[in-house]
A and B are shown apart, each in its own frame.
Chain A
């Protein structure tokens, strides 16, 4: 459904007298991802790994250095950037901070109606109907239609963000840290809701997050990102039960203990991983520290490793 081929996004570091490009930061470095229809793909990594840049590139918010993005087989790399491109109806984004991503000067009605006005010629009546339908879908009552963002709770705001993203009936949603800023109880609400919507509208998700527990809960396929590249990709079972890349292991071992009884086990695991990291780093990263290309080790499981037989 969505395919990213050899995507690279380099940010120039400028300086000097003539503001020359001194060096480049390879935020995304030759990255390829294939997301099947109806799938929830979790892109996981730490801050600065390039996961947000990848997401923003898909919806055309970033300048792409090289590579291409295909949607249902059509190349959309350049068309997605055009404001009224029909492809924009199909791909929508949900942002991390539900407060700053909603225009504080607009009412809930205006916010949810905005994409409808931007695309297609709908009558005011149609727009009204659709907005009402969407807000009820996300569990916000009709009498809140003319309230402003600050009058809603964090969870409600995030649901408004979701409603806005869904009004055009998109098939593909990029969710960038959509639940990270929320409190535990609200987070649960939004996670449930995103799952529900996926079933109802047959949505495909690219779920970008640093939280492995959340991704495990929501996603069927996971890509682990490090230094602008995917270092391991597989099903939830592949990643959690049979992690191969040292960085995946490091991330998994860093997840806070679920239950106090696991403390010793987790600490031991961390120690092992740290030791393993020292011993096997060269198998996963080349001399310059760049992760190797992905190699298939099972039909669903790929690892960025020097030689497959190192596994």
Chain B
């Protein structure tokens, strides 16, 4: 599937390090992946795995104290080497972003129509009436009824679902090539979640926008993703098509995660519990397999000394060799 598609963004050896008490710690550690044309690429992981830091790095939204290494190649240019002004012009125009919390993501003092218009003013030379028309078109596109009324509303006057549609309209305003959605439905009710996911997916298909969907929810992944990367402690531990991940998960972490959510298979059974806790940023052991200490019932020889993300099947990548020996039943018994 991936062979006949064009690479839209190619991320190589990307690291994002935060400064804590004078030292830098990598929250994103050597991440490499390609984002294909028009695909829905999900990045899934628990809090603290670095998925949001990765999203902000691609958008260039970290402040200056954050050290970013590696390259983000887009249209034959490395975004990471660009100066601030060049980078700014790409944001909102080529790359749009959808945030988690639609209420706080909007300026409380500005009418929502104006907030959408702001993007058009930055990146286009449209006349005022053209911009107003474009705003109304965008509201149509994100499925907002009574658009003439809604443009004049303030964020607090709209429901959570409507606000998120406004945030999506802002991200879409300049027909970007890439959309990064960071937990776009986490703050919403389930019935709204389904609608918003569908909307993001439909817009992707319609405009052939490559979308990176950041989430902690495997259900959201199962619903819309084409390809999935699973992150743990700053690294991608497994990456493959949606079917690879759900039907043939290989990395112990992916297998464990899938087993720990309540579903129709484990009803009335004990849920699988991953031993230990997610290490905090300063406490990540950066030598060897980062998941090793959370695997029980296996000896350390199953891990690689310097684990690499390898393509084990076509398009299916797994980090470390421990997947070959890992037996979840054995890990649970101990």
Q: Which residues of A come within 8 Å of B, CB atoms?
A: 46-47, 153, 155, 183-189, 191-192, 195, 210-214, 216-217, 250-251, 253-263, 266-267, 270
Contact = CB atoms under 8 A, between A and B. Distances in A.
A122 B196 CA distance: 54
Given A254-B194, A255-B190, A256-B193, A183 B47 contact: yes
A19 B264 CA distance: 51
Contact of A256 (B222, B266, B268): B222
A213 B225 CA distance: 21
B115 interface: no
A149 to B, nearest CB: 15
Contact of A217 (B189, B216, B262): B262
B273 A254 contact: no
Contacts of B267: 216-217
B194 A270 contact: yes
A254 B267 CA distance: 19
Nearest to B187: A47
A261 B243 CA distance: 8
Interface residues of B, number: 37
Contacts of A212: 190
B261 A251 contact: no
Interface in B273-317: 273-274, 277-278
30 contacts: A183-B46, A183-B47, A184-B46, A184-B257, A184-B260, A185-B273, A187-B260, A188-B260, A188-B272, A192-B273, A210-B189, A212-B190, A213-B261, A213-B263, A214-B262, A216-B267, A250-B191, A251-B190, A253-B194, A254-B191, A254-B193, A256-B219, A256-B220, A256-B223, A258-B222, A258-B264, A259-B246, A260-B223, A266-B223, A267-B198
Contacts of B122: none
A75 to B, nearest CB: 35
Interface of B: 46-47, 189-191, 193-194, 197-198, 216-220, 222-223, 225, 242-243, 246, 256-257, 260-264, 266-268, 270-274, 277-278
A1 B223 CA distance: 40
Interface of chain B: mostly helix, strand, loop or mixed: loop
A26 B219 CA distance: 33
Contacts of A270: 194
Contacts of B277: 153, 155, 186
Given A216-B267, A255-B219, A256-B222, A185 B262 contact: no
Contacts of A261: 246
Contacts of B268: 217
A230 B267 CA distance: 24
A257 B260 contact: no
Nearest to A217: B262
Nearest to B266: A217
Nearest to A252: B190
A191 B262 contact: yes
A257 B223 contact: yes
A215 to B, nearest CB: 9
A269 to B, nearest CB: 11
A268 to B, nearest CB: 13
A46 B191 contact: yes
B270 A192 contact: yes
B284 to A, nearest CB: 15
A189 B272 CA distance: 8
Contacts of B197: 256
A214 B217 CA distance: 13
Contacts of A184: 46, 216, 218, 257, 260-261
A264 to B, nearest CB: 11
Contacts of B191: 46, 250-251, 254
A270 B191 CA distance: 10
A153 B246 CA distance: 29
B170 to A, nearest CB: 24
A188 B271 contact: yes
Contacts of B189: 46-47, 210
Contacts of A183: 46-47, 216, 278
Nearest to A181: B47
Nearest to B241: A260
Contacts of A211: 190
A260 B274 contact: no
Given A210-B189, A260-B246, A262-B222, 15 more contacts: A47-B189, A155-B277, A183-B216, A183-B278, A184-B257, A185-B273, A188-B272, A192-B273, A213-B262, A254-B191, A257-B222, A258-B222, A258-B263, A263-B222, A263-B223
Contacts of A192: 270-271, 273
A169 B316 CA distance: 51
Nearest to A215: B262
B261 A260 contact: no
Among B193, B194, B220, B257: residue with most chain A CB under 10 A: B194
A256 B194 contact: yes
A21 to B, nearest CB: 22
A216 B262 contact: yes
A195 B270 contact: yes
Contacts of B263: 213, 258
A254 B190 contact: yes
A237 to B, nearest CB: 11
B320 to A, nearest CB: 19
B291 to A, nearest CB: 12
A46 B260 CA distance: 24
